[in-house]
Amino acid sequence: MEGALPVPVNMTQDELKALVGQAALAYVVPGTVVGVGTGSTVNHFIDALATMKDRIAGAVSSSVASTERLRAHGITVLDAATVTSIPVYIDGADEIDHSGHMIKGGGAALTREKIVADLAERFVCIADESKLVEVLGSYPLPVEVIPMAAAQVARRFERQYGGQATLRAGVVTDNGNAILDVRGLRITEPLAMETEVNQWPGVVTVGIFGRHRASVCLLGTAAGVRTLTF
């Protein structure tokens, strides 16, 4: 299902991100804790969330960068270990298909994003229309790995899926690990591939969000904000 909200013409991509960030406020439940993701689109959501900071109980953040931005706005950030559940998690995506499956991890926060998403009853994805795809895989698949396993995991991607994995240079995750970016994939069964790769020794998290797929996507387009429900 989908709907659309009108938007002025000739908006820039950044303005569209701000629009979906603002639209995501409609999914925040007053008086509760909200899950907050990572990235440029989420930054706009955090800025919008500051306008209602006195009406929420706080936020659980998926990255150091988001935590710093939330606190700069005076929003209370809670440790995920102290929270048993949250009504909604709001985050972006590098790709999302028409079933709500996503590739995430362009900002290297995929593991913490899954942890917060697992606390949430609902995942609301905010993105621009370029992120909507028929089949996942055009965007390189991020995989957080224990550094000593990076070469081993890369060889296994090539052997099992025909993917070419390269180490993301100069990147260390908030958890102290490395990121592999895997190109040349066509992910037709996201949940099955996520389940498989997550079992490989040395893999911390693969950036396929199949089990934690979106239930709603707010998509910024030239025609307005499209609301996709899955």
Would you say 61 is a known binding-site residue? no
**Which residue in the block uniquely carries the two structure tokens 């000593």?**
148
Determine what percent of the chain falls in helix, strand and coil, rounding each to the nearest 5. Answer: 35, 30, 40
Report how far residue 186's alpha carbon sits from residue 137's, in angstroms, rounded to the nearest whole number.
Answer: 5
* Given the residues 113, 129, 134, 194, the one annotated as active site: 113
The alpha carbon of 62 is separated from its chain's Cα centroid by a whole number of angstroms, namely: 9
- Is 85 assigned a ligand-binding role in the annotation? no
Residues with Cβ within 8 Å of residue 29, at least 6 apart in sequence: 87, 88
Q: Is 162 annotated as a binding residue?
A: no
Q: Please check if 106 is assigned to a binding site.
A: yes
Annotated binding-site residue? 3 = no
* Residues near 54 by beta carbon (within 8 Å), at least 6 away in sequence: none
| Residue 31 labeled ligand binder | no
113 is catalytic: yes
Segment (H or E) for 157: helix 150-161
Annotation-wise, does 40 bind a ligand? yes
- Establish whether 223 is an annotated binding residue: no
Annotated binding site for substrate: 38-41, 91-94, 104-107, 131
Q: Would you list which residues are annotated within the binding site? A: 38-41, 91-94, 104-107, 131
Active site amino acids: 113
